[in-house]
């Protein structure tokens, strides 16, 4: 059995991007480790969600632990950096922001976790951080370097199949089955990577209810009225029933998709 470390920027990213893969691998007996760069302190939260004196960061830590349990993760680690907000916002420059962190220093912290956990596989994001978020781009930079430092040779970049997503969302929009569009991906957003650059297609259809349950654990960020939870089961499977990766070092385009991130 393998130890697979999933490195994400903020609480709830693990649910959306890799929740199905995590649940599937855990069910197969692999050890799943979740590492978060930040506590997501600068996420948006509706009035009345937090209790008196409760910080968003502390709430999101608890939500992460609940999500990790649902997905079958055996350990959760936080690197201790601060959520950097969206690109170009003042939060980018706050003390301790992940976007402003020294890559070598952050990679050394992550590499220590990889060694301690005996990581066989590491997931990061693609080079654009899936959609250009500064913390996601930093996950790519830090994760790739940490793998080098720790000697982890199997690295997978979690991403979105840009071409398939455009086809799927066009079809769902035509059917009027996109749920709350306020949370839907922005049409101007550079989301994912072209299909020809991808190596690995993980069918997580069997695990979509687990994936959705882990999203519900992040209630401060993902409400029942959200885009993710308000779409029909059929639409959710179409949009999120497959998780895509780029296996670093594998030439593309590939003749046939890999179907797992555990070699």
Q: Look up the CATH architecture of domain 3-247.
A: 3-Layer(aba) Sandwich (3.40)
Q: What is the pLDDT of residues 224-250, one digit of tens each?
A: 988 889 888 888 998 899 999 999 999
Instruction: Evaluate whether 260 touches 220 at the Cβ level (below 8 Å).
Output: no
Nearest Cα neighbor of 118 from 143, 88, 150, 76 is 150
Q: What is the pLDDT of residues 54-106, one digit of tens each?
A: 999 999 999 999 999 999 999 999 999 999 999 999 999 999 999 999 999 99
pTM: 0.93
Burial classification of residue 165, based on how many CB atoms lie within 10 Å of its CB (0-12 exposed, 13-18 middle, 19 or more buried): middle
What ranges do the domains of the chain cover? 3-247
Q: What is the pLDDT of residues 124-171, one digit of tens each?
A: 999 999 999 999 999 999 999 999 999 999 999 999 999 998 887 777
Question: How many CA atoms does the CB half-sphere of 33 hold within 13 Å?
Answer: 21
Model confidence at 178, pLDDT cuts 50, 70, 90, reads low
């Amino acid at each position: 059995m393998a130890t697979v470390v999933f490195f994400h920027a903020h609480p709830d990213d693990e649910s959306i991007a890799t929740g199905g893969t995590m649940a599937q691998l855990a069910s197969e007996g692999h050890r799943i480790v979740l590492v978060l760069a930040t506590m997501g302190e600068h996420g948006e939260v509706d009035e009345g969600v937090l209790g008196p004196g409760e910080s968003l960061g502390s709430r999101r830590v608890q939500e992460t632990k609940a999500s990790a349990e649902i997905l079958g993760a055996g350990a959760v680690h936080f690197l201790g950096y601060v959520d950097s907000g969206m690109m170009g916002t003042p939060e980018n420059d706050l003390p301790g922001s992940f976007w402003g962190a020294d890559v070598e220093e952050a990679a050394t912290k992550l590499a220590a976790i990889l060694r301690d956990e005996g990581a066989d596989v590491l997931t990061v994001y693609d080079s654009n951080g899936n959609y250009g978020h500064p913390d996601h781009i930093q996950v790519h930079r830090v994760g790739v370097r940490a793998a080098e430092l720790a000697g982890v040779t199997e690295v997978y970049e979690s991403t979105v199949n840009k071409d398939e997503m455009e086809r799927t969302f066009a079809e769902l929009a035509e059917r009027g089955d996109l749920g709350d569009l306020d949370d839907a991906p922005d049409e101007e957003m550079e989301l994912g990577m072209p299909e020809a650059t991808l190596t690995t297609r993980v069918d997580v259809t069997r695990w979509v209810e687990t994936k959705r349950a882990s999203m519900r654990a992040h209630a401060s960020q993902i409400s029942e009225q959200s885009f993710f939870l308000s779409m029909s089961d059929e639409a959710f499977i179409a949009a999120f029933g497959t998780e895509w990766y780029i296996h670093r070092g594998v030439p593309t385009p590939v003749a046939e998709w890999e179907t797992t991130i555990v070699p």
